Amino acid sequence: MKLIGYVRVSSEEQAASGLSLENQESKIRAYAALYGHELIDIIVDAGFSAKSLMRPGMQAALAYLDSGKADGILILKLDRLTRSTADMGSLIDRYFSEKAGKALVSVSDQIDTTTAGGRLVLNVLTSVAQWEREVIAERTRDALTAKGRRGERKGGQAPIGTRWESKALVTNAEEAKAVELIKALRDSGMSIRAIVAELNKLGVPLERKGAKWHLTTVARILKAG
């Protein structure tokens, strides 16, 4: 087959992981040579996460498939392509299903979607990866909630109207006044955009990086009640 090699690392992985660009590329070349595939190009996404398919290298690789210049994509591991079940489902439907006819070949996962078994393995691995991420997220959320109930610092920035003192949240007097003003303006019928403009015009203090009010900041305050 004529395949596009695709390699990706996020900035963190470049520094700390064995999944370097060079490592991925060498294994992809070796696999293609072993099985007689023609590598027509190797496309690199350096410093991009797999949370979205909107990466320049990923879009270039898919363009090869759309144009018919390549029969499939060759990767080292499935998570180099995407970490999203939804995105993987979209790729399978559009490219890697039996009907779509393009191949996804993963060296380490031993996936070849030109076979029914390969497509089954792909679906199973994608579902398991999504489940693992959701379990980790649940555990992290539960741990932070438990720490909050004990009055311990969760980490990160304190909510608007509060600040951290040691391991406890205490009222930030200036910001607390701003929060009350925001709620009052909203009750008067002002839109969030108008409230943001008014806060910045009046120079209402915000003890945060940038010290400027934004739509998302005001919306978050109003949502929290």
Task: Specify the residue for token string 């700390």.
Answer: 16
65-93 pLDDT per residue, tens: 999 999 999 999 988 998 777 788 889 88
Coil, strand or helix at 129: helix
Taking alpha carbons only, the member of 80, 39, 38 closest to residue 57 is 80
Taking alpha carbons only, the member of 176, 92, 172, 173 closest to residue 127 is 92
- Which whole number is the average pLDDT over 60-66? 95
Active site residues: 10
Q: Quick check: 215 pLDDT over 50?
A: yes
User: So where are the chain's domains?
Assistant: 2-134, 162-224
CATH of 2-134, one of 3.40.50.300, 3.90.850.10, 3.40.50.1390, 3.40.980.10: 3.40.50.1390
Sheet holding 38-46, edge to edge: 38-46, 2-9, 72-75, 103-106, 111-112
pLDDT above 70 as % of the chain: 81
Q: Quick check: 123 pLDDT over 80?
A: no
